[in-house]
Amino acid sequence: MTKTRTLMGPIAMALAFSVATPLQADTLRLAIMGEPASLDPHKISGTWENDVVGDLFEGLVTEAADGTRIPGVAESWEISDDGTVYTFTLRNDAKWSDGEPVTADDFVFAFQRILAPATAADYAYLLYPIKNAEAVYAGEADTSTLGVEALDATTLQVTLERSTPYFLDQLSHYTAYPVPSHTVEAYGNDWSRPGNMVSNGAFQLKEWQSQTRITATRNPHFHDVDNVALEEVVYYPIEERNTALNRFRAGEIDIAREFPTQQYDWLMDNLPEAVQVAPYLGIYYYAFNARDGHATTDPRVREALSLAVRREVITDQILGTGEVPAYSFVPPNVSHYKAPSVDFADLSQDERLERAQELLQEAGYGPDNPLELMLRYNTSEDHRKVAIAVAAMWKPLGVEVELYNAEVAVHYADIRQGDFDVARAGWIGDYNDAQNFLSLLESNVSNNYGAYSSSEFDALMSDAANTQDMDSRAELMAEAETIALEDSATLPIYYYVSRNLVSPDLTGWETNIEDIHRSRWIGFDN
């Protein structure tokens, strides 16, 4: 067995230092990018929801201020030599916010619940590395067969289908959070509402006023409560970035989780100490609806639309805050992977448009039969500007575009139902591995918004999942991505940078490639 140590190096020293010098408690006011659909870890899928739920709960593994993975509820773990069996020892002081202990059974309950077909969790597939997880989710096996077992109250054993190099990183994701079995059983689907919810993170839910604010207070039973500086966190769902900026300037919020790109130059001139821009593990793309009855079912149409989009104009002239034009689905700098690129990346714009017109003519579209499309995007000034620009770029092809806008929860609910031709989407890596991006294009994955399906793609991804050699695994995934790019499965537009406004009065904020910032690490410099 391979023993993994707990805290070490700079993290251990930082925690030891903070024990001796407690920070002052205060209230953090945080603007998140939309109204959460839920606070149940099994019912969410957005980064804005993660901002809240990641403060309320803690998994076996969690994130340090700089995004690196550190022990959470598990104080240590052992991994079998073949990489398929993980044995976690839970900390003795792990408790729910009502004072009840967090046990290995709570994790068993949570894993079985999120994978139960009745839960219909959009993100359940992230846990497919666990033995029998996919069969359980498909209703082909009972939840009791899942490879998760409580050996005793503080010992949890997880058995995988195969060695999975990124599994520990996955365990910090909210799909792997424990949920309180005693509360879920008492309240059913209402367990995550204020007054009912108990959680095991640094904060506990106090109130939720829909579309107005969510308030969480410091959890007195959190195992590291002495090092939590904040007394309270108030989350304001603000989809309109200019509104968030104005409230930040007025001193009404301390952190804005994104700012409008058109204000970047002004911000750098007037509030440079507040601007936090950094590389980000994410892609901004348009999903094409491949379901029957949509023009975008035809790969020729998808390719033509992709050819016509001038990505550099979007990144350099419309956004202008360091975004990188995207010609692959997996972002650059993903660990142990080199993404392929589309063939037309080196063509001139005139050459691209000529080819796009030929493809649409082959598909039967022209002046007498113009291509008409519904393009959906969620509320944001930047999303609106990109959508308008893309529609203008398609106009020379004779494409007629009708734009639809909705707030974020409604938008994603609609596109999951297939109510679109083209839809704005984005993906932020849950862990630093190409599989986390490419899995979005596998058949029957709930976050495969366009319902793209390729048996060849699926087979290569399956082969990659069963390949232990990292170089061979990367080659298989690159072959799969090449197929998806040749099919124009999606329209990659740009790779993200994270854009935050952070009050200079705060301490503990550290930029990181995943843009994860847990409030437990943040305090006020006063």
Query: CA 508, CA 360: separation in Å to the nearest integer?
Result: 53
Q: Which two tokens stand for residue 27?
A: 């209230």
Enclosing H/E stretch for 276: strand 275-288
pLDDT the model gives residue 20: 31
pLDDT the model gives residue 25: 54
- Contact predicate 411/459, CB 8 Å: no
pLDDT the model gives residue 466: 85
**Cβ burial 38-75 (10 Å sphere, 16+ → b, else e):** ebbbbbbbbbbbbbbbbbbbbbbbbbbbbbebbbbbbb
Residuewise pLDDT in 10s, the chain (526 residues) = 333 333 333 333 233 323 333 334 599 999 999 999 999 999 998 899 999 999 999 999 999 999 999 999 999 999 999 999 999 999 999 999 999 999 999 999 999 999 999 999 988 999 999 999 999 999 999 999 999 999 999 999 999 999 998 899 999 999 999 999 999 999 999 999 999 999 999 999 999 999 999 999 999 999 999 999 999 999 999 999 999 999 999 999 999 999 998 899 999 999 999 999 998 999 999 999 999 999 999 999 999 999 999 999 999 999 999 899 999 999 988 889 999 989 899 999 999 999 999 999 999 999 999 999 999 999 999 999 999 999 999 999 999 999 999 999 899 999 999 999 999 999 999 888 999 999 999 998 989 999 999 999 999 999 998 888 889 999 999 999 999 999 999 999 999 999 999 999 999 999 998 999 999 999 998 7
Specify the 3-state DSSP secondary structure of 521. helix
φ/ψ of 181, rounded to 5, equals: -60, -40
Query: CA 125, CA 175: separation in Å to the nearest integer?
Result: 9
Query: CA 324, CA 279: separation in Å to the nearest integer?
Result: 10
State how far the alpha carbon of 483 is from the alpha carbons of 5, 175, 325, 477, in Å: 41, 29, 20, 10
Torsion of CA 400, 406, 412, 415, to 10 degrees: -30
